[in-house]
Amino acid sequence: MAARLRLGRRLLATIALLGALLLLLVRCEFQPIPLSAVSRSEKSEQVIEVTIKSSDARIIKRREFYFSVVIINCSDPVNRYPAHPDIGGDTVGGFNFPIDSESVLITARVPAGIFDQYNDPCVFLEGGGYFSGTIKSKVVPVHQVLRTGPNNSFKPTPLRGAA
């Protein structure tokens, strides 16, 4: 009888401990720090690439965080546009993305007309998991990559006498 009582108390203590751990995980906020964010024009879209450390991507994958790349104005963060991300060509929701390198590239696509509304664009990652807490990264500015083309203001002058 005493052994059965001890077993019951031990089981109850284990369940209470697991419940407390689950509550801590649900309330836990993961805050990755993006290393950089760049954007480039591609047809009628603006492609935004956010680089994070692979250790942060490993946590996202292990804890199965669903998240968006949220675009805001750095100076006025009221107007938000969440964009669906992918990592290495795989959707984030599948959690099959590669995390073997030193850093991981998160890509999101936004209609150019939407992105043009942001004079001073910044991005952050925001979302969460079912039982694994939430994710909200630090805000980083988006640097626009200018490409050469007919509308590029930089036109190199050819060397004289060059064939």
Helix or strand run (H / E) with residue 91? strand 90-91
pLDDT score at 4? 67
* DSSP designation for 131: S
Pairing of strands 29-30, 134-136: parallel
pLDDT in tens, 7-47: 667 766 677 666 555 545 445 888 899 999 999 999 899 99
pLDDT in tens, 137-158: 999 999 988 765 555 555 555 5
Residue type at 138 in one-letter notation? K
Domain boundaries, the chain: 33-144
At the topology level, CATH places domain 33-144 in Immunoglobulin-like (2.60.40)
Specify the long-range contacts of residues 17-24, CB closer than 8 Å, at least 24 apart: 22/131
Q: Mean pLDDT, to the nearest integer, of 97-111?
A: 89
pLDDT in tens, 57-91: 888 888 888 899 999 999 988 899 999 998 877 77
Start-to-end C-alpha separation, the chain: 100
